[in-house]
């Protein structure tokens, strides 16, 4: 269990977190605009910094890679399943996902907010996070102000294969680009 959670309720701290996030997200926007249009991040409803500031609770998920040494031996030496460190990152993702499932079971909404390297530096200083810990994710939790539209998902018949990979379902690079174009037009 390499994860640790910082529960933030203080309005001033949440406001500072939102302010530093707004500054750091500008860098992401600049990088996104350098990508070809089809591969840019999908436009989303502008949550803005208030998603953090106005949430009753913000949970900062930290990770200690030293604890990763206690995991199964193969995860440390065999670079399958995503390469070195993949088991660690999968575990962190699962912890955050379980946190979000628990929130949903309680009738709460949650927003997974990725942490950029610049924002991690700001959060580390603001929250006194020791240098050995990584700040993995920030999750805003509260009662949703709106019900978001259901996200598009490919149909199961497109993504499930039986007994072996169905090569008729294989998508070429061009197929993926066309899929992304259609997705962005939704």
Element (H, E) at 59: strand 57-63
DSSP symbol at 130: -
* pLDDT tens, position by position, 72-114: 666 666 666 667 677 788 889 999 999 999 999 999 999 999 8
CATH class for the domain made up of 3-148: alpha beta
Q: Kindly give, in sequence order, each residue whose CB lies less than 8 Å from that of residue 146, ignoring residues fewer than 6 positions away.
A: none
Condensed to tens digits (0 to 9), the pLDDT of residues 107-137 reads 999 999 989 888 999 999 999 999 999 999 9
Report the alpha-carbon distance of residue 157 to residue 98 in Å, rounded.
27
Q: Where are the domains of the chain?
A: 3-148
Contact 140, 47 (CB under 8 A): no
| Residues β-bridged to residue 57 | 141
* Nearest CA-CA partner of 65 in 79, 51, 75: 75
The backbone torsions φ and ψ at residue 78, rounded to the nearest 5 degrees and listed phi first, read -105, 120
């Amino acid at each position: 269990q390499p994860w640790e959670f910082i529960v933030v309720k203080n309005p001033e701290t949440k406001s500072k977190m939102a302010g530093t996030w707004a500054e750091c997200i500008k860098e992401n926007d600049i990088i996104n605009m350098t990508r070809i249009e089809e591969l840019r991040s999908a436009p989303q409803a502008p949550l803005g910094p208030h998603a953090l500031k106005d949430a009753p609770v913000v949970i900062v998920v930290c990770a200690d890679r030293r604890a990763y040494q206690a995991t199964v031996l193969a995860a440390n030496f065999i670079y399958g399943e995503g390469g070195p460190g993949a088991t660690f990152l999968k575990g962190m993702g699962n912890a955050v996902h379980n946190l979000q499932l628990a929130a949903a079971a309680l009738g709460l909404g949650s927003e997974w907010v990725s942490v950029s390297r610049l924002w991690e530096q700001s959060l580390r200083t603001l929250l006194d996070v020791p240098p050995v810990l990584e700040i993995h994710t920030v999750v805003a939790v509260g009662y949703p102000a709106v019900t978001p539209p259901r996200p598009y998902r490919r149909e199961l018949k497109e993504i499930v294969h039986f007994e072996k990979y169905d090569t008729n379902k294989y998508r070429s690079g061009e197929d993926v680009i066309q899929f992304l174009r259609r997705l962005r037009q939704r």
